[in-house]
Amino acid sequence: MGKYRKLGRTSSQRKAMLRSLVTALIVNEKIVTTAARAEEVQKIAEHLITLARKESDNYETVKKTVKVPRKDKDGKRIKEEKDGKKVTVYDEMEKELKVDKPSRLHARRQMLKVLYPVTDVPKEAKGRKRNTRKLDVPAKLFDELAPRFANRDGGYTRIVKIGQRKGDAALMVLLELV
């Protein structure tokens, strides 16, 4: 018996499918899929959460002065004219930034090898383009999921059987974070 299921796909298709399912599980915290896929996704997801738990508090906070564009009441940048050109006006602010230590940075990059980039698009049509933003999935693992599972040694996911799929009678399950 092999170390993994082939799931009836070529290696590139299988990796892409598993990556998308793991990303969806971490972002939405539950997914519905077949039992065979869920067991493969469970292995990968548990590994990522363990990685996040180990490195969750391995960072330094650093104070830096950063330039932030000045904005008006509508959220648009304020521009003024200099030498015939319109230039954005910037204010300097003190910000506290989290800087990863080398082992946490390595863990973040290991996660990014598995996880796809996620874009969050609002449901309502008004402001859809402006309010679209990229989600930092490794940050969710480090900041939300790692503290939640801090006192738990493995078993971060649960598989609940739902029933058979109508078309081909495949066993469908709900894979969720505990």
Environment class of 118 (CB within 10 Å of its CB; exposed 0-12, middle 13-18, buried 19+): middle
Task: Give the three-class secondary structure for 84.
Answer: coil
CA 5 to chain centre: 25
Residue 97 region, left (φ>0) first, then alpha (ψ -120 to 50), else beta? beta
Reduce the DSSP state of residue 78 to 3 states and report it.
coil
- Which residue bears the tokens 């980039």? 117
pLDDT 10s digits, 59-84? 999 999 989 999 888 888 889 988 88
User: Which residue reads 């602010």 in tokens?
Assistant: 93
Domains of the chain with CATH codes: 11-58+101-177 (3.90.1030.10)
The model carries a pTM of 0.84
Q: Which amino acid is at 163?
A: G
Q: What is the pLDDT of residue 42?
A: 97
Q: Which residues of the chain have pLDDT under 50?
A: none
Note the pLDDT of residue 129. Answer: 76
